Amino acid sequence: MLDVRNISKRFGGVLALDDVTFSVGAAEIVGLMGANGAGKTTLFAVIAGNTRPQSGDVVWRGKSLLGLRPDQIARHGIARTFQVVRPFLGLTVMENASIAARFGARALNRTSDVNAAARDALQAVHLFDRAEDLASELTLSDQKRLEIARALATGAVLLLLDEVMAGLTPTEVREMIEIIRSLRNDRGLTLIVIEHVMRALMSLSDRIVVLHLGRRIAEGLPSIIADDPQVSHVYFGSHADA
């Protein structure tokens, strides 16, 4: 479904992404792993159109996304969350989700359709009971769920989730894993998940791609990646126990 081909992205003097290539198939959950600064969020920004790569291409269902604006990419069915959550603070939870339902891939017009889609998305993340609260009143954990709900409400078939578990309690992490899993299992969505919470990443992902300093250094099943000496070297230094 999604082909990332030889993407390179430079910010001034820093090479954030260096010739990154990988693919994501339908209804897959691909984990994206790497130390801070490895380029994971930059990769999301490139795929979603928030920033343009110096070279390379992003192909979605056979069509190149290069040069498209973020809103156009959203209408193609790709939605991302932001690592530092960006809810529409002055709007209610319901209104946040409704915006996504109006403008994303579904592009709904009738208020009843918009409301139905928004409600559905909020229910999927267990946030519907707070529908009338202002987004500014939510806890961080609920705001992270709102990010996911918004992405869901656009009707996207590919979701890019950026560290949605950061700062959550173990219970909340468990809940979030269930929510994310059901997005694929019950709705058939495709997901790329950036996570630092290792057990979550390992248990969710069908496949893991590891970035380090902008380069893809490993890719494979979670069990393989966990044992990969290069990966543990990068993460834990040369004195790590395997």
Partner 1 sequence: MSLLRDLVLILLGLAAIAIAGFFANDYWIGFGIALLAAIALTESWAILSALSGYISLGHVVFYGLGAYLVVVTWGVIWLPFALLLAAIGACGFAFAIGLPVLRVRGPYFVILTFGVAELVKYALIAIEAALGHASRLVLGAPDPIVILYILLGAATLATLLAAGVRLTNLGHGLRALREDEEAAETLGVPAAQYKLAAFVISAAIPGLVGGAMALRATYFEPNTAFDPMISFAMIAMTIIGGSDDLRGPVLGAILLTGLSEVLWDVAPHAYMLILGILLLVFVRFLPEGLSGLIRRAH
Q: State the residues that interact with partner 1 by CB under 8 A.
A: 48-50, 69-72, 74-75, 79-80, 82, 86-91, 98-100, 102-105, 107, 109, 150-151, 154
Residue matched to tokens 């543990």: 232
Q: How far is the CB of 197 from partner 1 (least distance, A)?
A: 24
Neighbours of 61 (CB within 10 A): 13
| Pick 69 or 199: Cβ nearer partner 1 | 69
Q: How far is the CB of 121 from partner 1 (least distance, A)?
A: 12
Q: How far is the CB of 187 from partner 1 (least distance, A)?
A: 18
In three-state form (DSSP H/G/I as H, E/B as E, the rest C), the secondary structure along the chain is CEEEEEEEEEECCEEEEEEEEEEECCCCEEEEECCCCCCHHHHHHHHHCCCCCCEEEEEECCEECCCCCHHHHHHCCEEECCCCCCCCCCCEHHHHHHHHHHHCCCCCCCHHHHHHHHHHHHHHCCCHHHCCCEHHHCCHHHHHHHHHHHHHHCCCCEEEEECCCCCCCHHHHHHHHHHHHHHHHCCCCEEEEECCCHHHHHHHCCEEEEEECCEEEEEECHHHHHHCHHHHHHHHCCCCCC
Q: How far is the CB of 96 from partner 1 (least distance, A)?
A: 9
Q: How far is the CB of 183 from partner 1 (least distance, A)?
A: 17
Neighbours of 173 (CB within 10 A): 19
